[in-house]
Amino acid sequence: MTAAALPPPLPQRDWAQRNRYWFLPLLIMASVGLLLGFVLGIGSLVIGQLKSSPAYIEGVKRARADPEVIAALGQPIEEGWLVMGSFRQSNEEVDVTINAPLSGPRGAARLWVTGTTRGEGWAYTQMNVQLEGSQRKIDLLDAPAD
């Protein structure tokens, strides 16, 4: 009796070929997740830098102490999380421009602060609160901070 010839073995598929239907979407989702995490991390660092600047802290203090802002927004006045702006340093001079959301029980507004320092204190060229849905701006340059 002669032995029947066996067919050649099927080629072995590697792990990626066996799992291709879920591997590719998983790879895409992981890449998007890493990219999103990187962008959010950089964004939180920038927002943290702006929120920790003396110009931002001074602007929020003055807004919370100003009677016009309190009358328009109510109390307590809360800071929003999406702070925008720029922070530029050249030699000993620091320029900062900040646009930050504020809100209270009666409404919302944007805090605008522009200032410069050379190390011995801040000189502000703009510090006001613009009420949302209105062109009205409340000037905070002359308001004392508590």
72 pLDDT above the threshold of 80: yes
How many whole angstroms separate alpha carbon 56 and alpha carbon 46?
13
pLDDT given at position 122:
87
Report DSSP letters for 49-105, one per residue: HHHTSHHHHHHHHHHHH-HHHHHHH-SS-EE-S--EEEEEEETTEEEEEEEEEEEET
Average pLDDT over residues 79-100: 88
> Which residues are CB-neighbours of 98 under 8 A, at least 6 positions away?
50, 53, 55, 56, 59, 83, 84, 85, 111, 112, 113, 114
- pTM across the whole model: 0.72
Q: pLDDT tens digits for 36-58?
A: 999 999 988 888 888 888 889 99
Side-chain half-sphere CA neighbours of 26 within 13 A: 6
pLDDT given at position 104:
92
